[in-house]
Amino acid sequence: MEELYDEKAMEGMRNYAKYIAMVVRNAMEDFHCKHLSDAQMEELNPIIRDATYTAIYAFESRKDSRISEAFVDFHLMSVPKYWEEPELLAGFRGGGP
């Protein structure tokens, strides 16, 4: 796949993906403690990071790449109607540090 962005832009998207993945991972901490072993989390973390990076890259490049546009469209159409609207995490809303 031909890259549409220079290395600086790619690094920015990778860093953004790592940031989002860390927020997801921290939000899952209680679930992790109750239901997942450390080994399972170790396997899950790169899946979350890679999927997040792919979603960011595809969304950013959707106007310049038919593959990206199809990827984004497919996933947007796949969102179930019964999903609740996203909400800000309680720890963020609470005005913590």
Region label for 95, one of left (φ > 0), alpha (ψ between -120 and 50) or beta (otherwise): left
Query: pLDDT tens for residues 17-33?
Result: 999 999 999 999 999 99
> What residues make up the domain containing 12?
7-93
Position 1 in a domain: no
Position 2 in a domain: no
Position 67 in a domain: yes
> Rounded CA gap, 97 and 95, in Å?
7
Position 87 in a domain: yes
**Cβ 14 vs Cβ 60: under 8 Å:** no
How many domains, in total, are found in the chain? 1
Tokens for 8, please give them. 């600086």
Position 39 in a domain: yes
pLDDT at 89 over 70: yes
* Stretch 52-67: mean pLDDT: 96
| Identity of residue 10 | M
Position 56 in a domain: yes
